[in-house]
Structure 1
Amino acid sequence: MSAKMLGRAVGSRALSGTVLRSELFDITVSLPRPTFTNQRTMASKAITMENINPNIVKLEYAVRGPLVIRAAEIEKELQKGASKPFKKVIRANIGDAHAMQQVPITFIRQVLACVAYPDLIEKGDFPEDVKERAKLLLGAMGGKSAGSYTMSHGIEIIRRHVAEYIERRDGHKSDWTNVCLTGGASNGIKNCLQLLINEIDGKPSGVMIPIPQYPLYSASLAEYGLEQVGYYLDEDNGWGLDTNELERALKEASTTVKVRAIVVINPGNPTGQVLTRQNIEEIVKFANKHNLFVFADEVYQDNVYDPNSKFFSFKKVMADMGEPYSKRELASFMSVSKGYMGECGLRGGWMEVVNFDPRVQANLYKAISAMLCPSSLGQVAVDCVAKPPAQGEPSYELWAREKEAVLSSLNKRAKMIADTFNQMKGFKCNPVQGAMYAFPSIALGKGAVEAAKKEGKAPDVYYAFKLLEETGICVVPGSGFGQRPNTYHFRTTILPQPDLLQEMLDIFKQFHEKFTKEHS
């Protein structure tokens, strides 16, 4: 087992002479107690595999795991002139829109440019609404510079604009003091998860997460020593959520775990489903029945493609339902990394916290203050999303045209990818109703399973590695997200531009036919 694999292995809480188990690789390894010397040439280490935080060893993040590391190595090999059966790596493993050649939204970039370099407000050829927005935001920054710290929870005027956005979206009041700007949605999610790190009645705290799930959740739960309580999404019914399954998962876990929260990702990652309003109401009733804190991961709220589907925020549904449901504790999350924006690198996002105990909210904000502040330019991008150009303003028509072009293209690619996989023998792919991913299942035969076992890999990991090495296509195996036993999946983004996506799918077809023959 390589050192890299070891670093990703899942470890027990005590690492001395320990057994490590990897989720992505079907390997169990016993580690002898390491020895260290005090020789001057080899000083002992302060942090060793014996005394490292075991939660860090336990943590895994498949989206940037072994396959992605290998993909980067292959790219370097190609740059050095290595002979491969392909000329480029196609990174379908991560939802990074601009890395896949999505064109930035002009309004966002123009405001960012003026805020980052204020001389452009007077010297640049920018629309008046861009200049006015830049002046407004600079006026809220220390020294009128994006290089200054902001308030820990974000610039007040931007928080107010986010609250106005939420009110327009939901038709219900939003208090701007409940809005906190974050370094992408991920930071806000982790901030809230930290509130749960505690034992209750002698039991560790647990969080219900969907299976399949976005690995941020499993990784963060491992990091914080929280217990993962998985509930399966129903693949045969469009990755829907069945409350009977929620009850099963909670009941089974409750013997050893104090279940305190539930995570819902809508639209879904990696599954691409959009929950119906009825489904959301059922989840809210379940959470209220069991006094669960609700995490609503809604970063793909702009990414809905199915004409029969519609995004409803958890906050709106809870408020529409009235008491007692409208009083349920909720944290909802949004990001500028997804949607039509795709500004992943700016690390802008927000969370709205609803119905918190004021003392708990004060402590949450206190903990956030220790991290100083999110990126000021990320906050600027948030402002452009929360308060886009209004009809009649100089930037409106271009903004509306660019937004529609991005979402329309994603809609076509969502259909293209599901249709193609469903034409391939052994594949089943639910329609991509929303988000940016497909999560098809593959029927891997006995030959493939045996070959995977010989290499010490899970079958879907083996398949994904073969795909990468033979075609340059990088996807993420389903075992990195969680899946029902004896089923195999992978996640691929729909982000490659149409020509590249078609090329990728054509290559995929050829590979799968070859793989099937070789492992028959």
Structure 2
Amino acid sequence: MPAANGMPNSAHGPQKSCFPLSLDNINPKVKEAQYAVRGEIVIRAKEIEDEIASGKSDKPFKTIMYCNIGNPQQLGQHPVTYFRQVLALCDYPELIESGKAEGVFPSDVIERARRYLAAMPGGTGAYSDSRGAMVLRKDIAKGIEERDGFPCNPDFLYLTDGASQGVHAMMRLLLRDDKDAILVPIPQYPLYSATLALYGGHLLPYYLHEETGWSLSVDDLKSQTYKARSEGRHVRALVVINPGNPTGQVLSVENQKEILEFCRDEGIVLMADEVYQANIYKQGKTFTSFKKVLSQMDSKDVTLASMHSISKGFYGECGRRGGYLELMNVNPDVVSEFYKLASINLCSNLNGQICMALVMNPPREGEPSYKLYAEERQSLLDSLKRRAIKLHKTLSSLEGVTCTEPEGALYAMPQIRLPKAALEAAKKTGKAPDFFYCKQLLEETGIVTVPGSGFKQEEGTFHFRTTILVPEKDTDEVAKRLVKFHNDFLAKYGEPEQ
């Protein structure tokens, strides 16, 4: 019988709410997980954006500049024409069957779509193999072989909804209880701390060295590993992000060899996050995959999980959620369990799978689409390089700010030395000092960044991360807003602490 207040009764008396879920009874691991790149500052940015759209804003700007996340097409980047053309025909094969595609789409686009559709019963609306459609995995394997010069078995490729799904899968496979630890770079991409929280593992930090270009020291890996083991933890894996996010560094082959030797000697799995491999800006720097280095070492004793994505590079197809994970040197019994994990999800989305195959196996020289594809690729990469250089120059000009030159990826991670009065003001709000800075930056300029505290950082230092993705035509305006804000901030709160 309902209680007098109209609410249902229970064995413990009248319920106070009709909602069966509350913060007190949901999974505490969900509450523990944090994801700064879409956190409180972004929520406030959306509110301001709505106020501007409704004419109720009193802000001195009319646009929000989302520099918080690597989301290129949201900021106006044009998609790669070839990718979109093939996807369009795969989604609407009637254009091919009716002959209407002829003369509208290049012949190699039509041929690629025909080949994919012939090998994918049901097209993009049907489930594929849980690892991904074989025709697409073969194209990706071909691209990996050409990149590295070593064979790639498509049976060890798993196509995923972005690289993030690959990270989740590895965490589910590796983490047994809270004694299991994974080495994660600090500063880190919050995906790693969030998934570790969700699956109950322990984040074991190793600090990148800002003073030497965010370098990675194997001695630090050893120190943290031995300390964790002395405390009863099991170090299961090492995460390396190359090129770095949020730090933008590119590892040398010599450093990669040291890392692989460490993993071999310590029996630790290497998780290689390589989603920014196309984004290299600094002269003399090149990307080399961990798979290539491991293959050159001819070592069978290191288990490697390599991840890539269609979200970054010069393609920026974030919303299509495509990626892959390649396993190397894994016990066959464990591979079967990983396949089972993939099967539980049925399969990743087919459009993302197709786009991943196009990224790894694009048009070839001599094909009708090659010229436009090559021009678009070069134009986008050249523009990203110019924007990276300009952003670094702007940030380095600010008083109390030091910024390591971005070698790759899509970000800069400047360190900010804040005035004592600003630190005291931040303390009164209960927020971290770099959050305090970034929140005011948003309110006064419309520029959305992520506080360094959201990525974790060395104690006593403050940073923020910003993307280099603002449209090139707007970079001068963003620089102007940033410089004015920073100077006004110092005028208000005083000289930076040394």
State the 1:46 CA deviation: 3.3
TM-score normalised to the size of structure 1?
0.90
State the 1:157 CA deviation: 0.8
State the 1:47 CA deviation: 3.0
Is the contact made by 1:36 and 1:44 (CA closer than 8 Å) also made in structure 2?
Answer: no
- Per the alignment, do residues 151 and 38 of structure 1 end up closer, same or farther by CA in structure 2, a change over 3 Å counting? farther
Instruction: Give the Cα separation in 2 of the matches to 1:74 and 1:455.
Output: 20
State the 1:193 CA deviation: 1.1
| Residue matched to 2:362 | 388
Matched, 1:133 2:109: no
**Aligned match for 2:237, one of 261, 265, 273:** 261
Code of the aligned partner of 2:326: E
- Sequence identity (%): 45
Matched, 1:373 2:347: yes
- Any residues of structure 2 matched to 1:71-86 within 5 Å, and which? 71-81=45-55, 82-86=57-61
**Aligned match for 1:154, one of 132, 154, 171:** 132
Instruction: Give the Cα separation in 1 of the matches to 2:418 and 2:257.
Output: 37
- Any residues of structure 2 matched to 1:428-507 within 5 Å, and which? 428-507=402-481
Instruction: Give the Cα separation in 2 of the matches to 1:361 and 1:45.
Output: 42
Matched, 1:197 2:197: no
Matched, 1:171 2:145: no
Matched, 1:512 2:486: yes
Aligned residues: 479
Instruction: Give the Cα separation in 2 of the matches to 1:500 and 1:362.
Output: 50
Secondary structure in 2 matching 1:299:
coil
**Aligned match for 2:250, one of 274, 291, 299:** 274
Code of the aligned partner of 2:240: V
Secondary structure in 2 matching 1:123:
coil
Instruction: Give the Cα separation in 2 of the matches to 1:440 and 1:256.
Output: 36
TM-score normalised to the size of structure 2?
0.94
| Residue matched to 1:426 | 400
Instruction: Give the Cα separation in 1 of the matches to 2:162 and 2:95.
Output: 27
Is the contact made by 2:243 and 2:250 (CA closer than 8 Å) also made in structure 1?
Answer: yes
Code of the aligned partner of 1:401: E
Q: Deviations over 1:314-355 (max 9, x none)?
A: 1111111223xx431000001011111100000011110001
State the 1:291 CA deviation: 0.7
Instruction: Give the Cα separation in 2 of the matches to 1:37 and 1:427.
Output: 58
| Residue matched to 1:301 | 277
Secondary structure in 2 matching 1:229:
strand
Secondary structure in 2 matching 1:327:
coil
Instruction: Give the Cα separation in 2 of the matches to 1:198 and 1:401.
Output: 48
Q: Deviations over 1:118-147 (max 9, x none)?
A: 12222130000000111111112223x211
Which ranges in structure 2 are unaligned for 5 or more consecutive residues? 1-9
Is the contact made by 2:264 and 2:301 (CA closer than 8 Å) also made in structure 1?
Answer: no
Greater CA deviation, 190-199 or 110-119?
190-199
| Residue matched to 1:112 | 87
Instruction: Give the Cα separation in 1 of the matches to 2:185 and 2:282.
Output: 22
State the 1:248 CA deviation: 2.0
Matched, 1:181 2:159: yes
Moved >6 Å (runs of 4+): none
**Aligned match for 1:246, one of 211, 214, 221:** 221
| Residue matched to 1:17 | none
Greater CA deviation, 252-261 or 153-162?
252-261
Q: Deviations over 1:419-466 (max 9, x none)?
A: 111111111111110000000000112111000001111000000000
Code of the aligned partner of 1:418: H
Secondary structure in 2 matching 1:488:
coil
State the 1:274 CA deviation: 0.4
State the 1:308 CA deviation: 1.4
Q: Deviations over 1:189-211 (max 9, x none)?
A: 11011111214xxx711000000
| Residue matched to 1:357 | 331
Instruction: Give the Cα separation in 1 of the matches to 2:227 and 2:65.
Output: 41
Q: Deviations over 1:82-106 (max 9, x none)?
A: 2111111110000000001001100
Instruction: Give the Cα separation in 2 of the matches to 1:252 and 1:46.
Output: 43
Instruction: Give the Cα separation in 1 of the matches to 2:377 and 2:112.
Output: 19
Is the contact made by 1:305 and 1:434 (CA closer than 8 Å) also made in structure 2?
Answer: yes
| Residue matched to 1:414 | 388
Code of the aligned partner of 1:463: Y
| Residue matched to 2:4 | none
- Per the alignment, do residues 394 and 466 of structure 1 end up closer, same or farther by CA in structure 2, a change over 3 Å counting? same
| Residue matched to 1:23 | none
Secondary structure in 1 matching 2:124:
coil
**Aligned match for 2:206, one of 224, 231, 255:** 231
State the 1:173 CA deviation: 1.1
**Aligned match for 2:44, one of 67, 70, 93:** 70
Secondary structure in 2 matching 1:146:
helix
Q: Deviations over 1:279-317 (max 9, x none)?
A: 111111111111100000000001111121111111111
Is the contact made by 1:113 and 1:120 (CA closer than 8 Å) also made in structure 2?
Answer: no
Which ranges in structure 1 are unaligned for 5 or more consecutive residues? 1-34
State the 1:415 CA deviation: 0.7
Instruction: Give the Cα separation in 1 of the matches to 2:449 and 2:71.
Output: 13
Secondary structure in 2 matching 1:142:
coil
Is the contact made by 1:166 and 1:174 (CA closer than 8 Å) also made in structure 2?
Answer: yes
Code of the aligned partner of 1:242: S
Secondary structure in 2 matching 1:391:
coil
State the 1:45 CA deviation: 4.2
